[in-house]
Structure 1
Amino acid sequence: MKLIRLFTLFVLITIPSCFLGQVKKIGLPHIKNYSRSEYKGGTQNWNIDQDKNGNLYFGNNDGLLQFDGSTWNKYKAKNSNAIKSLKVDSTGKIYVGCYNEFGYFKANSKGKLEYFSIADLLDKKTINTIDFIWKIHLFKDEVIFQSFNRIFIYKNNKIKIINAPKRFQFSFISNSRLYIQDIFSGIMEYKNGKLVYINGTNSLNNTEVWGIIQLQKNTTLAATLDKGLFLLINNEVVPWNTEANTFIKKNGSLGCILYKNKYIVINTVLNGVIVCDLNGNIIQHINRSKGLQNNTVLSSFIDNSNNLWLGLDNGIAYVNENSFLTYFGFSYNLGTVYSSVVYKGYLYVATNQGVFYHPWNTDFKEGSFNLVEGTTAQAWNVQIISGELICASNKGALVIQDGKMIKNIDPKGYFAFKAIPRHSRFFIGANYNGFSVFEKTNSGMKFRNKIEGIDKSSNSFEIDNGYLWLKKDAYIYQITISDDLKKAKSIKIFSRFSEDNLGIGSLQKINSKIYFQSNNIFYTYSTTQSTFIENPALTHIFKTIPKIKELTQDTNGNLWYIFNESMGALMKTGSNKYKHVVAPLSNLTGNLVANYMSINTIDSKNTFIGLTDGLAHYDSTIENRSLSKPKVLIRSFSFPGDTIHLGNSQNINEEYKLPYASNQVKFTFSSPSYENLENLEFSYQLEGFEENWSAWSISSIKEYTNLKEGNYTMKVRARNSSGIESDETSIAFRIYPPWYRHSLAYLFYLLLVAVFVYYIRLRIKIKIRKNKHFETLEQRRLYLEKETKIRQEQYELEKEIEKLENEKLQIKILSKDKELVNNTLQVVKKNKILNGIIHKLKDINSNSFDEATKVQFTKLNRSITKEVHTDKSWKDLEKHLKNVHFDFLKKLKEKHPTISPREMDLSTYLLMNMSTKEIAEFMNISTGGVELARYRLRKKLELNKKENLIGYLMSIK
């Protein structure tokens, strides 16, 4: 038995690593830390798992944390905060273990995780003694919940309990076997519903086993908290005397997992995590000083992309183990790197703080770079020239040897140095204000002279065919140097290489020949034609490549280029044949040093790339590993009043129906592709609203407002940092129209229109009927109006005739009145004459007459007197005037009640247009009395001087 055990150990330790693959030993993988302020949970993270959708779950002191690559969510179990264990099954259930509680989270009909207690199946007394559930296992068709005192076996909605012989510690599944440690009784295996002791494991009693993994068929590794690592071989426990065991004994272990069946990841209490091979050789060590935010690693997990997640005592960390690139950053004392080179067994790096070095042939997993003494300043370049290591620095041209600066050849600041063709002993250096020539002598490099006539310089320059070519800003300078290398004979400036290709791109030497590039078109310079000539072969190579900014060729003939803020490479596979590599270098996007492309290829396994925060290492021999296509999820679909959580459910083929009031929708996306999340991009299209896909963007939220009714499909796709696009994910939904645009409403509108048309037609018929009736009535009315008008005109004519007749009669009356007045006046005159005769007769003495004469005289006198006294003409005239002018006199009396009869007579006479003399005779007054009477009448009528008396009297009539 002992011989078998020793043979097994020998085979295990001596397995060639080439059969196991490798985790890179040089540099550190990219580490992304998530602090509690980011995930908004507690400090400790005890367990990690992943569902089919790629969502990650963490058992945290403050609940269950879920991470989809974009958003952190937190969920609480029943009556408990801290979740010490979790496990996700194939249906999406997330089983969790807490204090005196265990159960599972499951997505409800709207995709939101809801908690369901399994512990509620127990009686209350048992529940109160559960304690913490530390481990959960999906074993065959059972779910095993393990606490320190019991294991609870859940199956078919029933719980079976197995009590600990003494006190359980932890349990583990390895190679389809379930192991449980009783801290006082040894390690047992759960078989057929029972616990079976494993012989020979009592030596692990009184220590805590935190991890068990199977290395080979009969060989199992156990990691303990404080006693190191042990192998269980054929019921024997032996220490695993390896480099890893020595490390764990010193720092303690909190568990281990198997990585790709080739490596072991071991969590430690004091010093982060180590990755070792199956021989126990430590390949990587990641701790706080190397980028981890906490040195106590409580849990570790390998996700579906073979990357490592660590649950820390304070925080969560993501370790990109599945990358082509590793890094030397701040933990190695490196800042911004501008150049690197291997020289005499050391890797030298030019940085913004000086030149640093590290032994090349020793292990890179520990130790940092050391500063070369005397180089503390901005170092632009470090290169080997004629066997010497020369640094182009802000301090000058520095010679470095054995980790020290031994000589400063020229104190001017320099960018770089180049050999001068056909002048093997001379080199040219670009300093801050021109160029200088250096000479190789037996005692080393020496400053020879400054090249006169040149006051411009940069780090981009080349020398060939007697010309010094300099790229400065947007121009190319062609400088002809004298044969003695002491002055510039001529300088030409170019702003373009051809008439139809504007601008200057890059200047580079490829296969010892200078090429000029603009817009991915390459040129060479013809000295015989003094012009730039396009190179079709090189142009064709870069035809499908994005517009490049910089280009350089490494020592293996590979072409490295910069586009935007990313890097790509054309790996040489033969004469003028290249393999295009972009995806493996995509993680460098945004970290490259602008205008200082630093590529140092030592061999096919070792290429160093300068970054703004250190140095990257690239191994081209493993760049052919498969790159998986990312997955994209529509994480949530929100609208007023509700949110559908799609990232938790397995099926999103349902079509969602929204009322018109919910026509404002919001989508969140995620892609559980956790590598280089900063460069993860999304593109989306709302079919039915947008005709084209949106531009790629890092935004994982999209909102639409005021959508019209109709059918829509939201389509989303993701593109990871390697430029690989996911398949599109979609969700269909329908927005119903508002009630007034519903199909039933349109039917109602149609009926309403029909009724309205019918009503209009009916109204038109009635209107026509009425119009005909009204037309008849109107015709009749017009006839009657016409008849009435004729009658009115006839009546008015009759009235006019009557008026004319009245006027004629009035004129006739006035004429008669005038005539009567005249006759009356004649009578008056006659009477007056007769009265005169009477008076004269009285004067005659009748006594002298005879009786007959006297009788005749008396008879004559009596006759005349009778004639005078019997004449009533005046009275008849007066009566006549009053009768004729009755209306006038009435109106005059009404208007002027105080007028006297005498004044009314005067008014009548004036109205009759009688003269003053006639009025005087009628009234038996003098003409002056008439004037006085007129004056009094005007005063009585209240007339002013300007008003005409007769006109006024006429107006009353």
Structure 2
Amino acid sequence: MIHPNKRFFLTSIFTLIGVVSIYAQSIGYPFYKYYSSQDYHGGIQNWKITQSTDGLLYVANNFGLLEFDGTNWNKYELESGTKCRDVYVDTDGKIYIASQGDFGYYIPNGKGKLRFVSLADSIPGEKRDFDETWRIFKQNDQLLFCTFDDIFIFNLNGQLKQIIDPDSDPDNFFFVNHELYFNQNGKGLSVMSNGNIKSTAYGHYFKNMTISGIIAINNNQLLISTLKNGMFLKSGNQITVWQPKNQDKFKNANINQMKRLKSGKIAIGTQNEGLFILNKNGEIELQLSKGKGIENRTVLSIYEDIQGNLWLGHNNGISSIALNSPFKHLNEQTGLPGTGYDALLFNDTLYLGTNNGLYYKNIKAQNTSFKKIENTSGQVYKVQQINNEILMGHHAGTFRIRNGKANKIANIQGTWTLLDLEKYPDYVLQGNYKGLSLFKKSNDGLKFIRKLDGFEESSRVMEEDQDGNIWMTHGYKGVFKIKLTNDLQSVEANYYGEEKGLPAKILNNVWDLNDNLIFSTVAGLYKYDKNKDRFIKSSFLSNYFSDDVQFISFTEDAIGNIYFVSTTETGVLEKTTNGNYIKHTAVFNELENLLNDDLQNIITLEANKVLYAAKEGFIQFDNTAQKIKDVDFNTIFTKIEISNSNDSIISYGRYIENGKVSFNYQNQDTEIPFKDNSIRLAYSAPYMSGKFKNQYQYWLENSEEEYSNWTERTDKEYTNLPEGDYIFHVRAKNIYGQVSKLASFHFTILPPWYRTNIAYGFYFFIALILAVVTYYVIELRYKKKTEILTEEKEKEITRIDSELKTSEEKFEKLKNEKLKSEIKLKNKELATSTMHLINKNSFINSVKANLNNITKRSKNQEVKHEINKVIQNIDKNIAADQDWEHFSIHFDQVHGDFIKRWKEDYPDLSPQEMKLSAYLRMNLSTKEIANLLNISVRGVEIARYRLRKKLELERSDNLQEFILKY
């Protein structure tokens, strides 16, 4: 911990240094984004860049006109397929372009798609056959189209007003102080005023030079750049070399373009040496070239956009440079490879420690990259100045840095940090992988004394309190209070964890802030209460953060600004004159995913300037840079289309309103047929700062209850929408948390044809007709029903009378039918009994035959006599003919006089065939018939055959079916 008097002295010194500023040159490069020709789908060369009032970027490209809406690149090719050399966007939204053999403007068609209108086609005669249009300028209410032969002047209505024909061909054009300057081969610099061309008094000076840029600077002076002859200053009629010390540099660089920036600085784009940024005095503040801040060394065009970004059109690609950002990147492009860990600024030399070693650079020297210090390869954890000596904590041990070399002063592996002890001012405490070591100051530098006993924990973060206690925080074990013994041989360590008030034993760190030790934990800031010997919540910074915020890194600069990184935000608490703080976080969103997530660190360089350890090198932050201002920016629709139709495009986002191109659909309404009730809306916000990481929020009014969550998605699709009126709202939020103006699109999904007003009118008409018809039908039915009821009643009376008369007859008839039924049933039963009797007789005949056989074979007369008696008795009781007659009577009663009718129709049938016919009528089987006829089965088949012959049946006729159907 720094003693208050010592802190006051250092604050005064650093404040003074901050006033004079130690930075003569930039030590890093601005953030940038590069677009290759594959990204924007165009040609390699980009001749001019400009921007519309809506924020869209336009580029004159080899393949035509490029448009960038912050999300997507669009390309508009000329029908001739020629190069686009210049582009100018007027306040009414017309996009004028200059190309080979043509010029004109782009304007949206009915669907908002840009279409080209040629103005050159209105030029008469041979003047139309020009080669190339090089520049476009607006002068009051006129447009000047400059070719290498003539200058064509049009009014804003597209009418040709005048043709200026210089007596010598121009080679370039510049619009300065509302006048058109151009250089003529062999003649020099001329100016056109009121439609007349005149030579300037100093113009002959440039007659053998190619002028590449002219800008106005102070006191009506003109700064003139040339392609190969350097830069010149015109004061009155006198021409002088501007900044002679840089003249050779500019000559060799071949200047392509020059532009005055809003800050007053001058940007110079060159053919061979990339981009130069000069202050108003002509001193080079920054140079960007291939592999040093940009991807291409040729800069053909320069444009500063609404947000202050610098756009460069290269010979191959396009770059966007965050020139106004407070951040600069120190990475491998500055000669610094690896991940950043720690840094130190000492005597104009900046030391940077990475995982690859220790690097250094004199910050006042021009065009010098970082150099590696010998013998430092590997992880550098700490770079410190103690006793006017540079010391390095390294994976391999502790090193002294002198004359660009590193010498090890202690052979203890893994030096985390070195602590200059205030209680023992002659000693320095070292924290390493395993425990602590002691060093002593001497005239020859720091000397290793001993490794201290009593403590073996890894000691990376340490601070000393006012009582001389050493507080060491371990990332995973807790906090230790360490006290050196009087003999400086060992230490006594007390452990503090959850039982001592800390919310957890992990992720604790100690910081020296505002002359106090503050402990960051997983649940906010804590301080040590000496009287209670435990940790309690700290109220420090409670007005600026929630109680449970987890801080990862802190540092405090010489004037009291506190820089911080937490798990939720990164920022600075800028100290005010009354001792309070102003919190700034928005601009730090640019650091997302860039900082070192291993051993995070913030290093103070001087007042208002710090370095953040990054995944690639370091990132410098200048707190004096202009803070982010609230800006108005728009969200625009880029394409609205029906997603279930081939002819799907509703609009490309633009339309003409009061003669101007507009993206505001607030007052527009679009009707969509019900069959096309699926819509996709694409949108973008042309806010092009902060890595272009815009987020969007949308809401479909009358369908959704509220806005969606923020998302980076730039389109939304709705399918199967019911009929009704809808308003789609969308807005953007840039990386700094600023919200754009709302974009709205009103559309109506028409009902299907069967739910339209015409359809409902038709339905009503049909319903009315049906109601009338129904009424008359019901009335007619009622009358008819009344007549029918009357007639039915009369018929019912007649029927009842008739039934009364015939009821007795029906009763008698039913009674007779019942008697007949009973008789018929009895006849059936009798027929069945007769059948049984016949069967019995058949059996008895069989027995009789057997007995006769026995008598014939028997020799016993007595037995024969007895058997003959039995046979005689059987003969007495068998009356086969009578049984058959009896059977025939009952059979005819059952089968409708079959036997009677059968005899009449077929009188030639024998009795045996009559019986066979009756048995077939009864549907008896062949075997049953054989038993009844007392013949064999074969005999039955023969009898059936004879019967068929007598009946004269065909072979295809079935005998039994014939008899059954008879």
Match of 2:283 in 1: 281
Contact 1:520/1:543 (CA < 8 Å) preserved in 2?
no
Q: 1:808 to 1:409 in 2, by over 3 A?
A: closer
Question: Deviation per CA, 1:461-493, whole angstroms, max 9, x where unpaired?
Answer: 545467665554565233555636666756646
Structure 2 distance, partners of 1:389, 1:39, is 49
| Correspondences of 1:279-428 after superposition (within 5 Å) | 279-334=281-336, 335-363=338-366, 366-420=367-421, 422-428=423-429
Residue in structure 1 matched with residue 925 of structure 2 by the alignment: none
SS, match of residue 249 in structure 1: helix
Q: Is the 8 A contact 2:590 2:691 kept in 1?
A: no
Distance change >3 Å, CA 261–CA 234, structure 1 → 2: farther
Q: Residues of 2 paired with 1:545 and 1:151: CA distance?
A: 69
Partner of 1:134: 134
CA distance in 1, matches of 2:325, 2:820: 132
Greater Cα offset, 55-64 or 488-497: 488-497
Q: What is the TM-score with the length of structure 2 in the denominator?
A: 0.77
> Quick one: which amino acid aligns to residue 117 of structure 2?
F
User: 1:415 and 1:633, CA in 2 relative to 1: closer, same or farther beyond 3 A?
Assistant: farther
Distance 1:149 1:902, change over 3 A: closer
Deviation string, structure 1 residues 508-550 (Cα, Å, up to 9, x no partner): 3323433234566322122432432222343233239976443
Q: Which residue number in structure 2 is paired with residue 188 of structure 1?
A: 190
Of residues 234-243 and 201-210 in structure 1, the stretch that sits farther from structure 2 once superposed is 234-243
Question: Would you say the 8 A contact 2:135–2:173 is kept in 1?
Answer: yes
Aligned length: 823
- Structure 1: which 5+ runs fail to align? 1-17, 811-880, 908-934, 944-957
Amino acid at match of 1:378: Q
User: Counterpart amino acid of 2:344?
Assistant: V
Contact 1:83 1:98 in 2 (8 A): yes
Q: Is 2:96 the counterpart of 1:82? A: no
1:607 alignment partner in structure 2: 610
1:99 aligns with 2:96: no
How far apart in 2 are the matches of 1:675 and 1:209?
33
Partner of 2:677: 663
**Counterpart position of 2:582:** 579
Q: What is the CA distance between 1:580 and its match in structure 2? A: 0.8
Deviation at 1:615, TM superposition (A): 2.3
Cα pair distance change 1:887/1:401, threshold 3 Å: closer
Partner of 1:5: none
Indicate the residue corresponding to 1:28 in structure 2: 29
Alpha-carbon spacing, 1:516–1:149, altered in 2? closer, same or farther (3 Å): same
- Look up the match of 1:237: 239
Cα displacement (A) at 1:150 = 1.4
Identity %, equivalent residues? 27
Instruction: Note if contact 1:899-1:940 (Cα within 8 Å) is conserved in structure 2.
Output: no
Aligned ranges for residues 626-641 of structure 1 at < 5 Å?
626-640=629-643, 641=648
Q: 2:413 touches 2:433 (CA, 8 Å); kept in 1?
A: yes
What letter corresponds to residue 645 of structure 1 in structure 2? Y
For 2:309 and 2:498, how far apart are their aligned partners in 1? Answer: 48
Asked if the contact 2:111/2:650 (under 8 Å) is kept, the reply is yes
Structure 1 residues 105-254: aligned runs within 5 Å: 105-123=106-124, 125-128=126-129, 130-155=130-155, 156-159=157-160, 160-254=162-256
Q: Residues 807 and 121 of structure 1: is their aligned pair in 2 closer, same or farther, counting only changes over 3 Å? A: closer
Q: Deviations over 1:584-610 (max 9, x none)?
A: 323222211125333222333532222
Q: Residue in 2 aligned with 1:58?
A: 59
Deviates more, 1:778-787 or 1:645-654: 778-787
Structure showing greater radius of gyration is 1
Distance 2:522 2:794 in 1: 96
The correspondence of residues 374-773 of structure 1 with structure 2, limited to 5 A, is: 374-420=375-421, 422-441=423-442, 443-450=444-451, 456-457=457-458, 459-464=460-465, 469-473=471-475, 476-478=478-480, 483=485, 492=495, 494=497, 507-518=510-521, 521-543=524-546, 548-564=551-567, 566-574=569-577, 576-624=579-627, 626-640=629-643, 641-646=648-653, 649-650=661-662, 651-653=664-666, 654-749=668-763
User: 2:144·2:153 contact (CA, 8 Å) conserved in 1?
Assistant: yes
Which shows bigger deviation, 751-760 or 187-196? 751-760
* Cα distance per residue 1:195-226 (max 9 Å; x no partner): 12212311211221111111134321211111
State how far apart, in whole Å, the 2-side matches of 1:599 and 1:307 are.
26
SS of 1:172 mapped into structure 2: strand
Moved more, 164-173 or 377-386: 377-386
* 1:504/1:805 CA distance change after superposition, 3 Å: closer
Unaligned runs of 5+ in 2: 1-18, 656-660, 825-885, 916-928, 938-966
Give the TM-score normalised by structure 1.
0.77
CA distance in 2, matches of 1:113, 1:592: 43
CA distance in 1, matches of 2:808, 2:36: 114
From the superposition, tell whether residues 701 and 216 of structure 1 become closer, same or farther in structure 2 (CA, over 3 Å): same
SS in 2 for 1:203: helix
Take 1:238 and 1:644, find their aligned partners in 2: how far apart are those partners?
A: 55
Describe the SS at the equivalent of 2:686: coil
Q: 1:937 to 1:100 in 2, by over 3 A?
A: closer
Q: Which amino acid aligns with 2:192?
A: Y
Structure 2 counterpart of 1:837: none
Residue of structure 2 in register with 1:798 after alignment? 812
Are the structure 2 counterparts of residues 117 and 758 from structure 1 closer, same or farther at C-alpha, using a change threshold of 3 Å? same
Contact 2:291 2:333 in 1 (8 A): yes
Match of 1:951 in 2: none
Tell me which amino acid in the other structure corresponds to 2:227: L
Measured in 1, the distance between the counterparts of 2:306 and 2:24 equals 17
SS at match of 1:38: helix
Contact 2:634 2:740 in 1 (8 A): yes
Q: Deviations over 1:759-781 (max 9, x none)?
A: 77777777777877787788889
Secondary structure in structure 2 of the residue aligned to 1:745: helix
Determine helix, strand or coil for the equivalent of 1:623.
coil
Deviation track 1:397-421 (CA, whole Å, cap 9, x = no partner) reads: 2221232112242341233233456
Distance in 2 between residues matched to 1:541 and 1:321, nearest whole Å:
30
Provide the C-alpha distance between the structure 2 equivalents of 1:899 and 1:459, rounded to a whole number of angstroms: 138
For 1:697 and 1:809, locate their aligned partners in 2 and report how far apart those are by CA, in whole Å: 100
Q: Distance in 2 between matches of 1:639 and 1:278?
A: 54
DSSP 3-state at the match of 1:298:
strand
**Within 1, Cα distance between the matches of 2:542 and 2:522?**
10
Question: Residue 268 of structure 1: CA displacement?
Answer: 1.2
**The 10-residue stretch of structure 1 (417-426 or 275-284) with the greater mean CA deviation from structure 2:** 417-426
Quote the Cα distance in structure 2 between the aligned partners of 1:808 and 1:51.
115
State the secondary structure of the residue aligned to 1:798: helix
The whole-number CA distance in structure 2 between the counterparts of 1:499 and 1:776 is 105
Q: Secondary structure at the match of 1:892?
A: helix
Query: Once superposed, what is the RMSD of the aligned Cα atoms?
Result: 4.1
**Distance in 2, Cα, partners of 1:286 & 1:639:** 46
C-alpha deviation, 1:730, in angstroms:
1.9
The answer as to whether partners of 1:346 and 1:357 remain within 8 angstroms in 2 is yes
* Secondary structure class of the residue paired with 2:216: strand
Bigger Cα displacement from structure 2, 571-580 vs 644-653: 644-653
Deviation at 1:644, TM superposition (A): 1.0
Secondary structure class of the residue paired with 2:446: strand
Query: For the residues of structure 1 that align with 2:277 and 2:601, how far apart are their CA atoms?
Result: 30
In the TM superposition, residue 176 of structure 1 has moved relative to its aligned partner by 1.2
Q: CA deviation at 1:164?
A: 2.6
Q: Distance in 2 between matches of 1:500 and 1:332?
A: 43
Who is 2:827 aligned against? Answer: none
Deviation at 1:349, TM superposition (A): 0.7
